[in-house]
Copies of this chain bind each other. A is one copy, B any other.
């Protein structure tokens, strides 16, 4: 593997000169012919700068840490993809870490941050009150929350969950539903809170009271249990809005096995889109959020902050949520 030294020797110049040329150092002028000599030498040797050495010297690994809570989360990949595409274009790579893959979050934090592997963190995990996040930021670690908000942290890129919920509710109400329930996510998670708010406000905007709100915790099993309660509520809702796809699926299963027809007797709509939702029974009406864009913008914000271009701040992706109308919702 050719080193900078090799290139410099071949071109008959000093390392430092070669470095300047190869990095297009703007602060320094270099004579065109030596520039070409160096470039020719680099080409000939197939030179690529060693990323580790460069990182040590500049103290910038050019690496973004992307920490996800549960890596099998549907829709997760879209975020990762958005981050990666954008980061690659700015010369950063992304180190993906599953919070669960390392024993405890603290160990994760150590490996990524304390050992200097990343310039900054994209954190797609975290509760509304989160000591780890708070601690990281207090230590001065550049950090942008993704799809999360946490007390005292400004830097956060989120999609408009509130608007997504309202879209779902509007759809249900326009179909004639008047008693609408909600399968809520974990109440200490910000997205879940915003989805719940959108649900309540959306109904209020139509002069309606919220129907039963039941914790389903973003999981299939949670959706099942919640649905059972929902079916016993008085009055029984004619429609439900589930805060995510997996809980919706669990609910649908429970509802169907109770002999209640969807959408005949009960409409179901879910937050989170995935192509596979077109194939569920019945095909699930969903709300698609601009997740890839969220990833892209979060990466942009973190890199801008790292490079001093623009400070990190709170950003709500304005791209409107899309209703993907399928067959789990019908007239109420």
Chain A contact residues, CB within 8 Å of chain B: 1, 46, 48-53, 55-56, 61, 71-72, 74, 76-78, 80-81, 84-85, 88, 93-98, 101-102, 110-111, 114-117, 220, 246, 249, 252-253, 274-276, 278-283
**A48 x B94 contact (CB < 8 A):** no
**A220 x B48 contact (CB < 8 A):** no
CB distance from A240 to the nearest CB of B (A): 15
Known A220-B275, A253-B279; contact A101-B72, beta-carbon cutoff 8 A:
no
Q: CB < 8 Å: which of B84, B88, B279 contacts A252?
A: B279
Q: CB < 8 Å: which of B93, B97, B115 contacts A50?
A: B115
CB distance from A246 to the nearest CB of B (A): 8
Give Cα A88–Cα B108 distance, bound, in whole angstroms.
Answer: 10
Q: CB < 8 Å: which of B52, B84, B110, B274 contacts A52?
A: B52
Q: CB < 8 Å: which of B56, B97, B98, B246 contacts A53?
A: B56
Q: CB < 8 Å: which of B55, B76, B94 contacts A96?
A: B94
Q: Which residues of B contact A278 (CB under 8 A)?
A: 253
Q: Which residues of B contact A46 (CB under 8 A)?
A: 114
24 A-B interface contacts by CB (under 8 A): A48-B115, A49-B115, A51-B111, A51-B117, A52-B52, A52-B55, A52-B61, A52-B117, A53-B116, A71-B80, A72-B78, A74-B276, A76-B77, A81-B98, A81-B101, A88-B101, A93-B117, A94-B95, A94-B96, A96-B96, A246-B275, A252-B279, A253-B278, A279-B281
Give Cα A61–Cα B95 distance, bound, in whole angstroms.
Answer: 13
Q: Which residues of B contact A85 (CB under 8 A)?
A: 101
Give Cα A74–Cα B282 distance, bound, in whole angstroms.
Answer: 21
**Chain B: CB-nearest residue to A77:** B72
Q: Which residues of B contact A279 (CB under 8 A)?
A: 249, 252-253, 280-281
**B84 x A101 contact (CB < 8 A):** yes
**A56 x B48 contact (CB < 8 A):** no
Q: CB < 8 Å: which of B52, B84, B97, B276 contacts A249?
A: B276
**A48 x B110 contact (CB < 8 A):** yes
**B253 x A52 contact (CB < 8 A):** no
**Chain B: CB-nearest residue to A76:** B77
Q: Which residues of B contact A74 (CB under 8 A)?
A: 276
CB distance from A271 to the nearest CB of B (A): 16
**Chain B: CB-nearest residue to A282:** B281
**Chain B: CB-nearest residue to A116:** B50
